[in-house]
Amino acid sequence: MILKSYTKIFIGIFFICLNSVSAVAQPSDTTELERVFILLKLTNVQQLDSNIWVDLKYSTSDNFLKSNVYGGLTRAYLHPEVASKLVDAQKILSDQKPGWHIVLLDATRPLSIQKIMWDQINVPNTERSKYLSEPRYGSLHNYGAAVDVQLLNENNQLVDMGTPFDSFEKLSYPIYELEYRRNGQLSEAAYQNRIFLRKLMNQAGFTSITTEWWHFNSCTRKEAKKRYTLVHSHFLKDYEVPSPEPNFLSNSDSEGLVFRVQICTSGKPKELTWHKLNHQADFKYFHEGLYKYTSGAFKTLEEAQNHKLKMWSFGFKGSFIVPMYQNKRISIKDASEILQ
């Protein structure tokens, strides 16, 4: 009897100790969103390399929404493979520029918060896609497979990139850099800093996009959907039962996407052979109360950019690129998501 009593006491102490170990496995200030990341076995980037600085902009009001949508989250989480790539990028940076740091501005973002951000944008519905990709397109942030980053120099100063993070002016678009560099809107120093950041991230296995100098993807959406878990909610209760994968547009859907160069608008319909179009227009559409005329149809933004400059040389100085999906105009940001 005495032996059995001691055995029960020992087992009780063992489970108390085991529970204590489990309790300290997570920081005492862990938020529910962070517990979701831990549940999904995402990696806390700061635990891998303290040289990577974290400044989660959506945990503050210092963002385009002027609102904190991440609550008390202060630690950045990524899929382990993606976190490892970011550590590699920091090592490369430290070798090339001692004392410099990668600053992680955004990492994993649940799809549910993407939807909240979409709903909170205080602009007309037709303008929302200029600021944020539509949740129906999804984002690699939703899989922990994308990062938003900036660089900090040896004097702990943010490196000049020409625009702040989350700037929605075209000056922040890499696709327009050469154009803005030529006309002086983008300084040579800022241009070279962007080139350096892209080379750094490319060496570590990331790819850049055409619309945000700060955004880098670790893989394609097709690969992420196949290999990674979608972070669909920021509430733990929503992971008690499996959630169906949202019907995001797949890479094959990009076949319905083209980039055209808009060269003219009119309040009244005109023939495509109208003399002022110089026979350059080959497509017209009706949008926001106006008839709009475009030239060319291209599968990549780079090809469309080259054609736009050609149209400028023909006298159409106001020409600009319009992405169209299934003959309906969408934003460049959404087009980038479809391509990714």
* Residue 196, pLDDT above cutoff 60: yes
Percentages (nearest 5) of helix, strand, coil residues in the chain? 45, 15, 40
Q: How confident is the model at residue 30 (pLDDT cuts 50, 70, 90)?
A: confident
pLDDT of residue 88: 98
pLDDT of residue 339: 72
pLDDT digit string (tens) for 238-258? 998 776 666 565 544 567 788
Average pLDDT score over residue span 129-146? 85
pLDDT of residue 340: 65
Domain boundaries, the chain: 30-239, 253-339
Residues 6+ away with beta carbon under 8 Å from 249:
136, 137, 138, 338
Residue pair 227/218 in contact (Cβ under 8 Å)? The answer is no
Q: In DSSP terms, which residues pair with 77 in a beta bridge?
A: 44
Domain 253-339, architecture per CATH: 2-Layer Sandwich (3.30)
Highest-confidence segment of 110-124, 141-155, 320-334: 141-155
pLDDT of residue 4: 45
pLDDT digit string (tens) for 289-330? 888 989 888 888 788 888 888 888 888 888 888 888 877 887
pLDDT of residue 20: 36
Return the number of other C-beta atoms located less than 10 Å from residue 178's C-beta: 13
pTM for the model = 0.76
Q: Which helix (H) or strand (E) holds 43?
A: strand 43-44
Class of domain 30-239: alpha beta
Long-range (24+ apart) CB contacts under 8 A made by 176-181 are 176/305, 179/305, 179/309
Residue pair 99/154 in contact (Cβ under 8 Å)? The answer is yes
Lowest average pLDDT, out of 33-37, 115-119, 208-212, 273-277, goes to: 273-277
Residue pair 151/193 in contact (Cβ under 8 Å)? The answer is yes
Q: How confident is the model at residue 21 (pLDDT cuts 50, 70, 90)?
A: very low
Lowest average pLDDT, out of 21-35, 72-86, 98-112, 285-299, goes to: 21-35
**Closest to 147 in 3D by CA, of 236, 209, 68:** 209
* Residue 16, pLDDT above cutoff 70: no
Distances (CA, A) of 323 to 37, 186, 216, 233, 263: 35, 24, 21, 30, 14
